[in-house]
Amino acid sequence: AQSVSQHNHHVILSEAASLELGCNYSYGGTVNLFWYVQYPGQHLQLLLKYFSGDPLVKGIKGFEAEFIKSKFSFNLRKPSVQWSDTAEYFCAVPQTGANNLFFGTGTRLTVIP
Amino acid sequence: DAGVIQSPRHEVTEMGQEVTLRCKPISGHDYLFWYRQTMMRGLELLIYFNNNVPIDDSGMPEDRFSAKMPNASFSTLKIQPSEPRDSAVYFCASRGTVGSPLHFGNGTRLTVT
């Protein structure tokens, strides 16, 4: 079955630092990949998604992610983080033969002003 | 569209009591999901419905948990009897066609004392 793993559990950065959060997926045919963000006390919101085409996907709030098939990765990036980016970030992939999403364990990002 | 609507936002109850969580999906969405989020286990899928029919309930932790979807615009998740270890945030999510992103409700924070 498709799954994702996020190896960074907690990342702490200063404002204006560059961000890269890792996400690796297991192979399972057609790959659709998602990044969701959960701000403190709020629900999960879609940040960006990859279905096909250009492997570099642009999302909201300056985020982007690159699908690298050879590395089974879909890392999330932002060139310059802001304090308001403090949140938990989840990578997700549809489960093979199912209709639900499998979510990674999440990476908590803390941005220090 | 108002998005996925969950109620109540917060629920505090005593151990042994029945708890009912409610969800109204986005109109036109065929799939509805119930997730539970805890610090220890992250985001777990409990059950999902397609066209009001439960498809996969393998994530429901035990018989104390039950979910229904009597029509396309309403679903409930019931815990009877509740236990302190059920304390978590419960999210409802819905989506339309296969591959489209999930839209999450604001969640219900359940505390069982």
What mean pLDDT is predicted for residues B53-71?
Answer: 91
Banded pLDDT at A1 (limits 50, 70, 90):
low
pLDDT in tens, B72-94: 999 999 999 999 999 999 999 99
- Of the two residues A2 and B104, the one the predictor is more confident about is B104
Residue with the larger pLDDT of the pair A98 and A21: A21
For an interface test with A, give the residue of B43, B45, B50 to mutate (most A CBs within 10 A): B43
Residue of B nearest to A97 (CA): B98
Contact: A44, B56; criterion CB under 8 Å? no
- Confidence at residue A28, expressed as pLDDT on a 0 to 100 scale: 65
Contact criterion met (CB < 8 Å) for A43 and B45? no
Contact A106, A88 (CB under 8 A): yes
Q: Is B91 on the interface with A (CB under 8 A)?
A: yes
- Per-position DSSP letters for A86-103, written without gaps between them: -EEEEEEEEPTTSSSEEE
Distance CA B95, CA B74 (A): 14
> What pLDDT, on the 0 to 100 scale, is given for residue A43?
87
Residues in chain A with CB shorter than 8 Å from the CB of B107 are: 43
pLDDT score recorded for residue A23: 95
Which residues 53-112 in chain A show a CB within 8 A of chain B? 90, 94, 98-106
pLDDT, residue B2, reads 78
* Both tokens assigned to A20: 């890269």
**Average of per-residue pLDDT across A93-110:** 82
pLDDT band at A32 (very low <50, low <70, confident <90, very high): confident
Q: Is B104's pLDDT higher than 70? A: yes
CB distance from B10 to chain A under 8 Å?
no
Return the higher-pLDDT residue of B62 and A37. A37
Say if CB A34 and CB A48 are below 8 A apart: yes
Q: Which of B47, B42, B41 is CA-nearest to residue B76?
A: B47
**Which of A37-46, A89-98, B59-68 has the lowest average pLDDT?**
A89-98
User: Cβ contacts (< 8 Å) between B55 and chain A: which residues?
Assistant: 99
